[in-house]
Amino acid sequence: MLLANLITLARLPVLLAVLGFLFWAPPWPHGLVGTGLLVLLFLMDWTDGWVARRRGEVTALGAVLDVALDRAVENILWIAFLKLDLVPFWVPVVFLLRSFVVDGIREVAAAQGRPGFTMMHTPLGRFLVASRFMRALYGLAKGVTFASLFLYHSFTARHPFLGGPWSAVNTCLIWFTVALCLLRGLPVVLDGRLYFRRNTSTPS
């Protein structure tokens, strides 16, 4: 198997290890190790793409695996932090709905020969959805938010007085990440309407 795909698949056991430290280990000081694994998890997401481009290993399978692991990581972590009462219920709902809608539209576009980011038509849509800057910003926002939530879970178990100020920071990070999620999903919905119109047949 290609090295890039192996790195992508290796994110799954790292994710399970993160969940292990989050739920089945004392928050302090084991949460510090879990946060380190969380950072590694997001660095691996960047590494697999870099390796694929560097080694000429960009494949359709790699793209599918990358999206699948991205969705698994972000949605499972939102649900995990919901379970710990660190994020409100509506947050994972937003991310899950966005995942289903966006991925469904992309499947329709791919069936018409416009897979992935190539489905975007407008310059603004391409910037928000496909540009490396926005993709990196979105990934960084999620990584920082999850790390902050994990560290909050760990440190407040030992120092409860940190809860108030840190909770406010986490709220700002969550709202910023949700805003980016919706901002990057909206152009897919708008451009995706074109592919559904092409699929509409005239009733007999």
Give per-residue pLDDT as tens, 111-137.
888 887 888 888 999 999 989 999 999
What gap in Å lies between CA 55 and CA 19, rounded to an integer?
32
Q: At 44, which CATH number?
A: 1.20.120
Within-domain flag for 32: yes
* Tally of domains within the chain: 1
Within-domain flag for 168: yes
Would you give the DSSP letter of residue 128? I
Residue 155 structural domain: 3-197
Whether 89 shows a pLDDT value over 80: the answer reads yes
What gap in Å lies between CA 33 and CA 22, rounded to an integer?
10
Within-domain flag for 202: no
Within-domain flag for 58: yes
Within-domain flag for 105: yes
Within-domain flag for 204: no
Whether 199 shows a pLDDT value over 70: the answer reads no
pTM: 0.89
One-letter amino acid for residue 76 of the chain: I
Q: 132: how many CB neighbours lie within 10 A of its CB?
A: 8
Half-sphere exposure of 201 (CA within 13 A, CB side): 2
Which pair of tokens denotes residue 99? 């995942």
Average pLDDT, stretch 169-179?
97
- H-helix or E-strand containing 77? helix 60-83
pLDDT (tens digit per residue) in 21-31: 999 988 888 88
